[in-house]
Amino acid sequence: MHVDTLSVRLLQAAANYSYGSSLGSIQPEDSVQVISYDARFSDSMGSNISASIVGQHNWDFVHEAGVYLPSTRSIYAASQTVAADKPINITVLDGSTYSLISSFALPQLHMPNGATAYNDTHILFCVFGHTDAPSTLSLWNPSTNESSVLLSSFYGRRFTSINDVRVKRDDGTIWFTDDWYGYYEGFKSPPTMPAQVYRFDPVSGNVRAVADGFDQPNGLEFSPDYKILYVADSGYVHGPGNFNMTRPNGIYAFDVMESGGLSNRRLHAFGARPFVDGMHVDAQGNVWSTSGEGVTAWDESGVVLGEVRVDTDVNNFLFVPDGILLLAFTKLWHVKCGMRPRKGESW
């Protein structure tokens, strides 16, 4: 499959609206474009870039999560729901070929969404739940199919839709976002708490809200040294058909304090392509997020480096040993390139 590479002339993009706006055009079907705004992006991607669709089906089999588990050598993703009575599946991919192994619903994980590897054998899922079932953080062991709930409320108050989660590896605490998308999509009751970011200590049981003031906090990720937390606000979209370009579509950065709190909130990057969602940090510490029909990378100071664009929306992605996997609903894209996972991610 042909991969089009483009090095952007930044001064021309700044002065010439027609040229600048052309950078956001939708790709032709089954095509990939790599856009470089900075020479560092071209260097990291490498000169031998290729792409292929390693999975394609007539239903949205890859939508969220995207977690590799060493014990099973498999990748686990969440499908997309189409109705409240058609729950989200867990989709299992081969960790070497990225081909589809299976896709199934788990009654104990009703409407799973974001996820992260808790350890080598367990995945920590954000479970949306439904009107009668709370949103939870739940552990699942794919080898035994055993699951357990770690967190189901904020001291008796229900979360709305726990969306995404990360484990702070240096102390084992769990950080997650809670937004209103379950309500917007029609399978959760009206929210009773703000959309916020939380920190949970699975040893003591303490849970605390650590950041508010968001429209819809979504993906989150730590810097490689765990001193910065990045949080995506995807308020641009409030559910199917409800888009507003004046609402947030940015990534915010916070300093992580030794006390477990956050400080020094600042806008790290604003997404030119709506909307920001799943996030990861690469081996160089650059911050990546989904951005409409692809993914965008920024450096540690918020300077945009480049984009990888395809022909359909991408809600999440993951770095693999030979590049990037893009979870694009009915398509699973594999972009072979020089990008690598952050240090400590097991393969």
- Which uninterrupted H or E stretch holds 45? helix 39-45
Give the mean pLDDT of the chain.
93
- Over residues 148-173, mean pLDDT: 97
For the chain, give me the number of helices (H) and strands (E)? 4, 26
CB–CB of 306/313 below 8 Å? no
Tokens 């399978």 belong to residue: 187
pTM given for the model = 0.96
Summarize pLDDT for 207-233 with one digit per residue, the tens. 999 999 999 999 999 999 999 999 999
Quote the pLDDT of residue 265.
98
Residue 176 has pLDDT above 80, yes or no: yes
C-alpha span between 19 and 17 (Å, rounded): 5
Residue count of the chain: 347
Residue with the larger pLDDT of the pair 219 and 26: 219
- Which uninterrupted H or E stretch holds 142? none
C-alpha span between 298 and 275 (Å, rounded): 15
Residue with the larger pLDDT of the pair 343 and 331: 331
Quote the pLDDT of residue 1.
80
C-alpha span between 295 and 116 (Å, rounded): 19
CB–CB of 178/195 below 8 Å? yes
CB–CB of 112/104 below 8 Å? no
C-alpha span between 261 and 209 (Å, rounded): 9
Quote the pLDDT of residue 86.
65
Quote the pLDDT of residue 25.
75
Summarize pLDDT for 14-24 with one digit per residue, the tens. 999 999 888 87
Quote the pLDDT of residue 169.
95
Neighbours of 299 (CB within 10 A): 16
Share of the chain above pLDDT 90, in %: 84
Furthest CA-CA distance within the chain: 58
Quote the pLDDT of residue 85.
57
